[in-house]
């Protein structure tokens, strides 16, 4: 059986992180499992976690009256779910729902936030990693906005 | 069945020993054998030559000029199986005057065909390597012949993956075939849509989001791209980020074209003619101009 | 067309009074003779029935955006530079039906349009124009595909070149290495000599058929001093080019300057009227028009001259690739002076100066190229 430490240390998100910080992250981590259809978090709730998806598929959704739930993006194996825990007001913007059975590692954001305040080196390491994820998501979102398959150029 | 690939390569060479003096602008009559409605705006024509003649062999990536009586002529890539040359297969979207007229053709109608023209996907050169195919929207059509070839000679290649992105679940082309391909253990097929709809249980997100998790070894893999230019620009960036070198990325370009034989001058892309130097280009050959405005 | 002159000197003299014989000889060999003549206030190329159809005693004044005819004070037959026409109108007709199709009981039948072989004699082809013809030969006859109509016209053509005795003020053939003396690609080449008391032509035959025609015209072997005179005329013309274009490293110069402020500057002046492409002797771009008759049973395809200055030229579903004037001017000049070299192993510009003269706002290709070059110095 793989240990949490083993899994985290091999994940690209944590690569290059100092041993002591990795240990700290392991201390904040736990294995979680969501059934297909189960909500992982809901829009407006306090954001106190982020997740490394080990296996499965999670949809980020928003519900609009008369249009039902709209999927903005799906996240799958190896991807990171959730960054609202890191930036005030620490509130989820979307619903996250497991599309299929999903296994993940949840990291306690509240615990990490406090540690980041105490140790800015850790804060910087985590922010660097999330900034990269946010940049990626922003790129993808802009690309998505172009609706390039509509009128092809 | 073993394909005679050397013949295709010969067809794609930029010169011919027997220079034809017949009018290269003269179409040959083909009859429509079948019209398949792939999606709400995309259709596939299956054509057979009229009379005794046989359809000319083609290499994956090449295109034909299709003429609708009185309406005009447009370049359309070949989307069929190169090992089944008896039937010529073309898939296109009804977006312009000619393609709209084409979409109303029925079985038995006659259509004019010239071709095949242009360069092809580097399938021979890719033997022994991983091949990752990235298609956007209708861009899956010119890549389908490459998929057919790769699957028919599966043992000759390393890992083979298809990453396909399109607008919405209703725009997914060749749905049944994608399902069949996905069911194979030796072919990784990923499909994603920009906009999910209720009931869609697949991936949502742009096609580039598939690249980081696609299974291929970037050190030796060859990438084949076709889709809108913006999509290909983002895709090239993402592939390079993953470690595929510029000289192992191939993409298919599109420009206005009237003759397909290098006379009308319209399809110029800097020093290249899309009709005879392309449509398939190696990325490093066009990198300097790709993404520049209004080339 | 490679046979050499059998005569020792290779040069002959035709006296001015015997010039009509040359036209007659060409006509008797079945050629329709076309050459310079005056129409609508310009020297154009059209059918010549007699030497009197030539612009005898006329010359032209040319500047950027300016063209006027003017009387000469002599009776020279070829005392002018090139006008708005070029020989491409005969070899690559502005409008040509390529084929017809008929819808009948057995579906659709396509029938190639085979025109009768046209045998044209071009009288008065300038050196820059010989080079322009050679350039179009590369595009339309020497690739994988051959334009059969062009090839038929080209192979049937008899070319009488004329060595320029004066340079136009928009000429720059010396810069492009295309003149002013005809060095290849002709059946006969003439130099018109007007002395105080003599008027004659020094004639060089470039091919066997040229030699054959010469034999039917009254001529004699050229003397040393007459040859020297002809050489001096060409040398003098070369010294008086109205324009210059520095071609050193020009391909890379343009490849480096796809982004340059000068394109915005020229776009403010350019009307995208396409005049430059219409008068250019090497521009080959075309469009096709597919038409049907009222019954809907008969269709035709026509090929027509087109220009990279139109929006339609680069239209793909959704819009035009080159929607701005600056991108279209950049495409034109970059093609002429740079990408053409990669495409066909030759420049697309022969320095004839037509695009300068016939630009309604006087945009000057030599000036624009200089501005791009100078922009790298600052």
What pLDDT digit, counting tens, does each position of B214-250 carry? Answer: 999 999 999 999 999 999 999 999 999 999 999 999 9
Distances (CA, A) of C318 to B95, B255, C188: 9, 12, 52
Mutation site for A-interface testing, chosen from C314, C315, C318 by largest number of A Cβ within 10 Å: C318
- A-chain residues near B167 (CB < 8 A): 147, 149-150
- B-chain residues near C324 (CB < 8 A): 294
Contact across the interface for B230 and A148, Cβ inside 8 Å: yes
- C-chain residues near B75 (CB < 8 A): none
- B-chain residues near C285 (CB < 8 A): 264-266
Residue of chain A nearest B233, judged by CA positions: A143
pLDDT of residue B104: 95
pLDDT of residue C5: 42
Residue of chain A nearest B254, judged by CA positions: A153
Residue of chain C nearest A150, judged by CA positions: C318
pLDDT of residue A151: 58
Q: What is the DSSP string of B281-295?
A: EEHHHHTTTTT-TT-
Mutation site for B-interface testing, chosen from C93, C100, C106, C108 by largest number of B Cβ within 10 Å: C108
- Which of C99, C291, C323 faces B294 most closely, judged by CB atoms? C323
Query: How far, in whole angstroms, is CA A94 from its chain's centroid?
Result: 12
For chains A and C, what is the number of CB pairs under 8 angstroms? 7
- C-chain residues near B21 (CB < 8 A): 146, 148, 151
Cβ count within 10 A of residue B247: 12
Calpha distance B279→C91 (Å, rounded): 30
Contact across the interface for B31 and C107, Cβ inside 8 Å: yes
- The pTM of this model reads 0.91
Distance from CA of C320 to the nearest CA of A (A): 9
C107 and chain B in contact, CB less than 8 A: yes
- Residue B189's nearest CA partner among B218, B164, B224, B225 is B164
pLDDT of residue C86: 97
ipTM of the complex: 0.92
pLDDT of residue B85: 84
C12, C203 Cβ separation under 8 angstroms: yes
Contact across the interface for B25 and C288, Cβ inside 8 Å: yes
Distance from CA of B276 to the nearest CA of C (A): 9
Pair type for strands A80-81 and A49-55: antiparallel
Orientation of helix A120-145 relative to helix A109-118, angle to 10°: 130
Calpha distance B253→A153 (Å, rounded): 11
Query: Is B75 exposed, middle or buried (CB count within 10 Å of its CB: 0-12, 13-18, 19+)?
Result: buried
Cβ count within 10 A of residue B106: 8
Calpha distance C355→C245 (Å, rounded): 14
Handedness of CA B292, A153, B90, C113 (dihedral sign): negative
- A-chain residues near C315 (CB < 8 A): none
**Average pLDDT, integer, range A38-43:** 97
Contact across the interface for A148 and B203, Cβ inside 8 Å: no
Calpha distance C227→C7 (Å, rounded): 15
Write out the two tokens for B264: 């009308």
Calpha distance C165→C340 (Å, rounded): 30
Is the per-residue pLDDT at B198 higher than 90?
A: no
C103 and chain B in contact, CB less than 8 A: yes
pLDDT of residue B52: 73
pLDDT of residue C94: 97
- A-chain residues near B210 (CB < 8 A): none
Query: How far, in whole angstroms, is CA A89 from its chain's centroid?
Result: 16
Calpha distance A89→C187 (Å, rounded): 87
pLDDT of residue A123: 94
A145 and chain C in contact, CB less than 8 A: no
**Average pLDDT, integer, range A91-109:** 96
- B-chain residues near A150 (CB < 8 A): 167
Orientation of helix C365-375 relative to helix C261-269, angle to 10°: 160
Contact across the interface for B136 and A148, Cβ inside 8 Å: yes
Query: How far, in whole angstroms, is CA B205 from its chain's centroid?
Result: 23
C241, C175 Cβ separation under 8 angstroms: yes
A153 and chain C in contact, CB less than 8 A: yes
Contact across the interface for B198 and A143, Cβ inside 8 Å: no
Contact across the interface for B229 and A153, Cβ inside 8 Å: yes
B212, B132 Cβ separation under 8 angstroms: no
Contact across the interface for C290 and B72, Cβ inside 8 Å: yes
Chains that touch A (3 or more CB pairs under 8 A): B, C
pLDDT of residue C64: 97
Residue of chain C nearest A151, judged by CA positions: C318
Low-confidence ranges of chain C (pLDDT < 70): 1-9
Distance from CA of B144 to the nearest CA of C (A): 22
Band of the pLDDT at B17, cuts 50, 70, 90? very low
pLDDT of residue C100: 95
Is the per-residue pLDDT at B1 higher than 50?
A: no
B64, B115 Cβ separation under 8 angstroms: yes
Name the phi and psi angles at C21, rounded to 5.
Answer: -60, -35
pLDDT of residue B21: 67
Query: Is B31 exposed, middle or buried (CB count within 10 Å of its CB: 0-12, 13-18, 19+)?
Result: middle
- A-chain residues near B234 (CB < 8 A): 139, 143
pLDDT of residue B54: 82
**Average pLDDT, integer, range B46-51:** 92
C168-206 burial code (b ≥16 CB/10 A, e <16) = bbbbbbbbbebbbbbeebbbbbbbbbbeeeebbbbbbbb
Contact across the interface for B264 and C258, Cβ inside 8 Å: no
Q: What proportion of chain B, given as a percentage, has pLDDT over 90? A: 85
Is the per-residue pLDDT at B8 higher than 70?
A: no
Chains that touch B (3 or more CB pairs under 8 A): A, C
Residue C218, C-beta contacts closer than 8 angstroms, at least 6 positions apart? C14, C15, C18, C21
Cβ count within 10 A of residue C224: 8
Beta bridge partners of C12: C203, C221
Contact across the interface for C319 and A152, Cβ inside 8 Å: no
Calpha distance C164→C298 (Å, rounded): 49
For chains A and B, what is the number of CB pairs under 8 angstroms? 70
Contact across the interface for C146 and B20, Cβ inside 8 Å: yes
Contact across the interface for B167 and A147, Cβ inside 8 Å: yes
- Which of C144, C284, C290 faces B14 most closely, judged by CB atoms? C144
Strand extents, DSSP E, C3-64: 11-15, 32-39, 42-47, 58-63
- A-chain residues near C318 (CB < 8 A): 151-153
pLDDT of residue C7: 44
For C136, the 3-state DSSP assignment is helix
Distance from CA of C318 to the nearest CA of A (A): 6
Residue C8, C-beta contacts closer than 8 angstroms, at least 6 positions apart? none
Chains that touch C (3 or more CB pairs under 8 A): A, B
Distance from CA of B275 to the nearest CA of C (A): 12
Contact across the interface for B255 and C321, Cβ inside 8 Å: yes
C258, C260, C261, C265 alpha-carbon torsion, rounded to 10°: -50
Calpha distance A30→A5 (Å, rounded): 11
Mutation site for C-interface testing, chosen from A146, A147, A150, A153 by largest number of C Cβ within 10 Å: A153
Residues 142-171 of C with CB under 8 A from B: 143-149, 151
C286-317 burial code (b ≥16 CB/10 A, e <16) = bbbebeeeeeeeebbbbbebbbbbbeebbbbe
B133, B224 Cβ separation under 8 angstroms: yes
The lowest-confidence range among A112-116, B116-120, C6-10, C201-205 is C6-10
Residue of chain B nearest A152, judged by CA positions: B228
C159, C163, C166, C172 alpha-carbon torsion, rounded to 10°: 80
Distances (CA, A) of B58 to B87, B118, B222, C284: 11, 10, 21, 29
Residue of chain C nearest B109, judged by CA positions: C107
C315 and chain A in contact, CB less than 8 A: no
Is the per-residue pLDDT at B10 higher than 50?
A: no
Residue A87, C-beta contacts closer than 8 angstroms, at least 6 positions apart? none
Band of the pLDDT at B2, cuts 50, 70, 90? very low
Helices and strands counted in chain A (H then E): 4, 8
Beta bridge partners of A104: A32, A53
C303 and chain B in contact, CB less than 8 A: yes
Band of the pLDDT at B75, cuts 50, 70, 90? very high
pLDDT of residue B4: 40
Mutation site for A-interface testing, chosen from B136, B171, B194 by largest number of A Cβ within 10 Å: B194
Calpha distance B128→B159 (Å, rounded): 9
């Amino acid at each position: 059986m793989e240990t949490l430490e083993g899994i985290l240390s091999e994940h690209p998100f944590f690569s290059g992180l100092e041993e002591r910080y990795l240990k700290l992250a392991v201390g904040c981590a736990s294995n979680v499992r969501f059934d297909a259809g189960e909500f992982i978090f809901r829009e407006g709730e306090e954001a106190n976690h982020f997740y490394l998806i080990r296996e499965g598929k999670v949809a980020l959704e928003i519900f609009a009256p008369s249009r039902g739930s709209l999927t903005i993006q799906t996240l799958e194996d190896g991807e990171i779910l959730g960054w609202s825990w890191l930036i005030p007001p620490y509130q989820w913007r979307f619903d996250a729902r497991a599309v299929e059975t999903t296994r993940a590692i949840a990291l306690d954001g509240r615990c990490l936030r406090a540690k980041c305040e105490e140790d800015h080196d850790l804060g910087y390491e985590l922010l660097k990693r999330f900034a990269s994820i946010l940049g990626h998501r922003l790129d993808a979102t802009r690309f998505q906005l172009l609706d390039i398959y509509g009128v092809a150029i | 069945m073993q394909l005679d690939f050397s013949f295709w390569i010969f067809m794609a060479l930029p010169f011919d020993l027997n220079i034809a003096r017949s009018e290269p602008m003269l179409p040959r009559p083909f009859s429509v054998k079948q019209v398949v409605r792939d999606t709400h705006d995309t259709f596939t024509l299956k054509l057979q030559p009229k009379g005794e003649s046989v359809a000319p062999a083609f290499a994956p990536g090449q295109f034909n000029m299709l003429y609708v009586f009185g309406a005009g002529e447009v370049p359309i890539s070949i989307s069929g199986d190169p090992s089944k040359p008896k039937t010529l297969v073309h898939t296109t979207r009804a977006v312009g005057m000619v393609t709209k007229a084409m979409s109303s053709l029925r079985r038995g109608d006659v259509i004019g065909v010239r071709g095949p023209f242009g360069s092809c996907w580097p399938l021979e050169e890719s033997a022994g390597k991983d091949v990752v195919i990235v298609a956007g929207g209708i861009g899956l059509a010119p890549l389908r012949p490459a998929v057919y070839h790769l699957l028919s000679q599966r043992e000759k290649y390393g890992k083979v993956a298809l990453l396909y992105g399109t607008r919405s679940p209703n725009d997914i082309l060749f749905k049944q075939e994608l399902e069949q391909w996905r069911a194979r253990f030796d072919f990784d097929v990923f499909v994603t849509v920009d906009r999910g709809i209720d009931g869609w249980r697949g991936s949502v997100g742009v096609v580039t989001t598939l690249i980081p998790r696609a299974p291929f070894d970037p050190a030796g893999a060859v990438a084949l791209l076709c889709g809108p230019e913006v999509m290909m620009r983002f895709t090239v960036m993402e592939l390079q980020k993953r470690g595929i070198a510029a000289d192992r990325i191939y993409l298919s370009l599109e420009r206005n074209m009237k003759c397909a034989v290098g006379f009308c001058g319209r399809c110029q892309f800097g020093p290249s003619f899309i009709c005879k130097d392309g449509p398939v280009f190696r990325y490093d050959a066009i990198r300097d101009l790709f993404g520049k405005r209004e080339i | 067309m490679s046979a050499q002159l059998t005569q020792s000197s290779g040069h002959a003299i035709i006296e001015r009074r015997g010039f009509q014989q040359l036209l007659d000889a060409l006509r008797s060999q079945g050629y329709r003779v076309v050459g310079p003549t005056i129409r609508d206030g310009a020297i154009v190329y059209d059918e010549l029935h007699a030497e009197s159809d030539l612009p005898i005693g006329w010359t032209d004044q040319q500047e950027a955006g300016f063209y006027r005819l003017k009387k000469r004070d002599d009776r020279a037959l070829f005392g002018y530079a090139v006008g708005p026409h070029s020989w491409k109108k005969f070899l690559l007709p502005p409008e040509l039906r390529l084929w017809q199709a008929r819808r009948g009981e057995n579906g659709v039948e396509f029938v190639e349009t085979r025109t009768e072989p046209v045998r044209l004699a071009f009288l008065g082809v300038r050196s820059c124009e010989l080079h322009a013809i050679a350039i179009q030969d590369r595009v339309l006859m020497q690739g994988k595909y051959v334009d059969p109509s062009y090839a038929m016209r080209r192979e049937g053509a008899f070319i009488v070149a004329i060595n320029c005795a004066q340079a136009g003020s928009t000429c720059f053939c010396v810069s492009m290495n295309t003149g002013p003396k005809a060095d290849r690609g002709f059946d006969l080449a003439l130099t018109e000599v007007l002395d105080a008391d003599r008027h004659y032509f020094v004639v060089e035959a470039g091919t066997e058929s040229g030699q054959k025609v010469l034999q039917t015209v009254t001529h004699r072997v050229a003397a040393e001093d007459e040859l020297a005179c002809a050489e001096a005329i060409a040398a003098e013309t070369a010294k008086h080019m109205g324009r210059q274009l520095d071609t050193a490293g020009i391909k890379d110069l343009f490849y480096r300057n796809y982004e340059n402020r000068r394109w915005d500057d020229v776009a403010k002046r350019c009307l995208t009227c396409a005049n430059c492409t219409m008068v250019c002797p090497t521009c080959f771009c075309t469009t096709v028009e597919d038409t049907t008759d009222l019954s809907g049973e008969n269709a035709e395809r026509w090929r027509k001259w087109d220009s990279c200055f139109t929006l339609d030229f680069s239209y793909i579903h959704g819009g035009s690739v080159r929607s701005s004037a600056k991108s279209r001017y950049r495409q034109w000049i970059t093609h002429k002076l740079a990408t053409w070299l990669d495409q066909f192993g030759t420049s697309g510009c022969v320095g004839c100066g037509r695009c300068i003269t016939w630009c309604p706002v006087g945009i000057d290709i030599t000036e624009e190229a200089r501005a791009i070059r100078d922009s790298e110095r600052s």
